[in-house]
A and B are shown apart, each in its own frame.
Chain A
Amino acid sequence: MALLNDLINLDLTDSTKKIIAEYIWIGGSGMDLRSKARTLPKPESDPKKLPKWNYDGSSTGQAPGEDSEVILYPQAIFKDPFRGGNNILVMCDAYTPAGEPIPTNKRHAAAKIFSNPEVEKEVPWYGIEQEYTLLQKDINWPLGWPKGGFPGPQGPYYCGIGADKAFGRDVVDAHYKACLYAGINISGINGEVMPGQWEFQVGPSVGISAGDEVWAARYILERITEIAGVVVSFDPKPIPGDWNGAGAHTNYSTKSMRDEGGYEIIKKAIEKLGLRHKEHIAAYGEGNERRLTGRHETANIHTFKWGVANRGASIRVGRDTEQEGKGYFEDRRPASNMDPYVVTSMIAETTLLL
């Protein structure tokens, strides 16, 4: 099928100025990503200059059939690693024809929080550690696990190498380069504690761009697993029992936390988070109660506690932050299926606006 590949990789820049823009949005479940492509007359790098579009909301559980149009507003542009050339991926959010964000649009409220002057002046940074599990297609059992059975217990797999310890590295490495190409601020990857589980990190990103970049990275990951013939799962506890869950630890700092004396600011912020533990937990991902058990490097879902270098805490502060008296902290509560718009803006709101 060499000729099919030639067509897929065709560089059109010699034949036309037209580009292909893949508009991406979040569907009715809050986790399903959808996309479709359109031709634009010439290259574009400013999302504000891209046309609004619409899609059939009745096919994604987001609108009734008799009034099915949902409008897409382009918000962020990334280079398309699959089509190359000047072709682009466009992260969008969804509105009614009357201009109201639809209920599943979490970006809109987050953008409002991030444009609040009290938040803006603190320049909030986020580093998000997205964990995920690869599953074998059709049987939905983790990649590398024997069908109908289990691999040896956790221990050798974290950052491991070797055909008996690392399952699916191709997907992870292809994803890393694809994200760098796309212009996503991907800062690293590693093999995780449970075999078949991996992690990538995005950041430090400022404000709303954290959410845009994580969603774009998730989209690229799902496209790559599609090519590889494996299934990606963002379930926070894919296998019950003595196997790690999957989280999306969110590292956070503000300008004041990064300046001299920042450690006191950090402690105050953590206190505020402690007072809103229930609200945050409710927004930190469906099914998180199966993951936050107090074992497997988590804190129990009902308990809020923090500690330096403590992976069994809700919030962990790094030793270097403690030593230098300034830095950032890590909220370890969010599940892998959290919505980054919700989590990042909620942390900003709780620590800066309330």
Chain B
Amino acid sequence: MEDLLNLDVSPYTDRIIAEYIWIGGSGTDVRSKSRTISKPVEHPSELPKWNYDGSSTGQAPGEDSEVILHPQAIFKDPFRGGNNILVICDAYTPQGEPIPTNKRAKAAEIFSDPKVVAQVPWFGIEQEYTLLQPNVNWPLGWPVGGYPGPQGPYYCGAGADKSFGRDISDAHYKACLYAGINISGTNGEVMPGQWEFQVGPSVGIEAGDHIWCARYLLERITEQAGVVLTLDPKPIEGDWNGAGCHTNYSTITMREDGGFEVIKKAILNLSLRHKEHISAYGEGNERRLTGKHETASINQFSWGVANRGCSIRVGRDTEKAGKGYLEDRRPASNMDPYTVTGLLAETTILWEPSLEAEALAAQKLALNV
């Protein structure tokens, strides 16, 4: 059976298999199906549009169920190998309107605004996730009906009593590199059974495409491994860390000399739109952003250098160099990267507060800009 799964068909045919991937009705469920394409392609525009049964994913009524898939990004398929590909798509009505759960379309609009294009926005996204034992939905490595020893030894730890599921993290790392995803690192997290991978720096809309493809690969790998993946932001109540999706962000002016001032202005803008951002930063985040476990409380906006208890953290090297990037620590692990990256660009590049609002906020945050 393995021989068949790993069969390299390229000596026998030019045809390739394309796995079309899209986001389903909940906004976090990923779906996919495959089709044969007559020969290898370079660019998503060469791929045909397709459609799927939206009534089976909560995205269309039964009497008018076709939802159209527009191919947007291509990655190499690490499961099928050869010239086979994965295709990240977004979903439209037959009339060409993005369906309500399609967050990519709005983000793509923001990222093609000339003001945003000129700023060359970079994103580095730190995706945390938790592995669960199947059927009991209790974290991997935890005793069933009980708890492991308290947090402390697990962050970046090694050993059978501290690290649960490394195979999945490592297989995922190589699979992403093979696929062409811009994965920049991995680490074991503070809560046992929890892991993180980072994607970036990616420019504009790519950040979202790469994260969604990475999430797809992760769920396919956990499927093989027989464990369950959860992106819930607070999988276990109590003295256990939640799971976030910290989003590191910079524009060209932030990366140049004098950039720290631009960063502070961006933080000011973000402070004035805290509620809008929070409501778009993931369902259930209020269970995670408590002010404990390396988070800031959900109702308060704060920032600080090297401070992991803030909404926004600026690294020491950015402070020293006078330029760099900021880390928005508010997004939950189940956030939609199209939404979050688009909103960050919009608030810091396209949106302007009133002068009084700005002055008040500057005072509150002790920011002289």
Spell out A's residues near B (CB within 8 Å): 1-4, 6-8, 10, 12, 15-16, 18, 20, 27, 32-39, 54-56, 58-61, 65-69, 82-83, 97, 137-138, 219, 222-223, 225-232
Contacts and interface: CB of A to CB of B under 8 A. Distances in A.
Given A35-B187, A36-B185, A39-B183, 4 more contacts: A20-B174, A59-B156, A61-B152, A69-B306
B294 A58 contact: yes
B308 A225 contact: no
The 8 closest A-B pairs by CB, nearest first: A36-B187, A34-B156, A7-B171, A38-B185, A59-B155, A97-B316, A10-B174, A222-B158
A58 B306 CA distance: 11
A223 B158 contact: yes
A228 B163 CA distance: 12
Contact of B177 (A33, A39, A56): A39
Nearest to A68: B308
A235 to B, nearest CB: 14
A21 to B, nearest CB: 9
Interface in B164-205: 166-168, 170-175, 177-178, 183-188, 190
B78 A65 contact: no
B307 A10 contact: no
A229 B306 contact: no
A67 B158 contact: no
A226 B163 contact: yes
A55 B156 contact: yes
Interface stretch (B106-114, B218-226, B259-267, B332-340): B218-226
A12 B161 contact: no
A56 B160 contact: no
A17 B161 CA distance: 34
B279 interface: no
Contact of B156 (A36, A66, A226, A231): A36
A34 B6 contact: no
Nearest to B197: A37
B5 interface: yes
A12 B174 contact: yes
B178 A3 contact: no
B2 interface: yes
A170 B225 CA distance: 24
Contacts of B306: 66-69, 97
A230 B160 CA distance: 6
Interface in B114-162: 143, 152-153, 155-162
Contacts of B168: 4
B260 to A, nearest CB: 16
Contacts of A12: 174, 177-178
Contact of A65 (B76, B156, B161, B307): B307
Instruction: Please report whether the interface of chain A is mostly helix, strand, loop or mixed according to DSSP.
Output: mixed
A130 B185 CA distance: 32
Contact of B186 (A8, A10, A36): A36
Contact of A15 (B161, B177, B224): B177
Contacts of A67: 306-307
B312 to A, nearest CB: 14
A39 B185 contact: yes
Q: Interface centre among B78, B79, B160, by most A CB within 10 Å?
A: B160
Contact of B170 (A6, A38, A55, A83): A83
B43 to A, nearest CB: 19
B331 interface: no
B224 A58 contact: no
A59 B307 CA distance: 13
Contact of A58 (B167, B175, B225, B308): B308
Interface in B304-339: 304, 306-309, 315-317, 320
A12 B81 CA distance: 12
B259 to A, nearest CB: 18
Nearest to A230: B160
10 contacts: A8-B170, A34-B156, A34-B157, A69-B316, A82-B170, A97-B317, A97-B320, A226-B158, A226-B159, A229-B160
A289 B44 CA distance: 68
Nearest to B171: A7
A93 to B, nearest CB: 15
Interface string B277-310: 0000000000000000010000000001011110
Given A36-B187, A68-B306, A69-B306, A8 B167 contact: yes
A8 B174 contact: yes
Nearest to A97: B316
A231 B159 CA distance: 7
Contacts of A16: 177-178
A36 B173 CA distance: 12
A189 to B, nearest CB: 20
B158 A35 contact: yes
Given A36-B188, A38-B185, A83-B170, A7 B160 contact: no
A7 B186 contact: no
A68 B307 contact: yes
Contact of A226 (B76, B166, B171, B224): B166
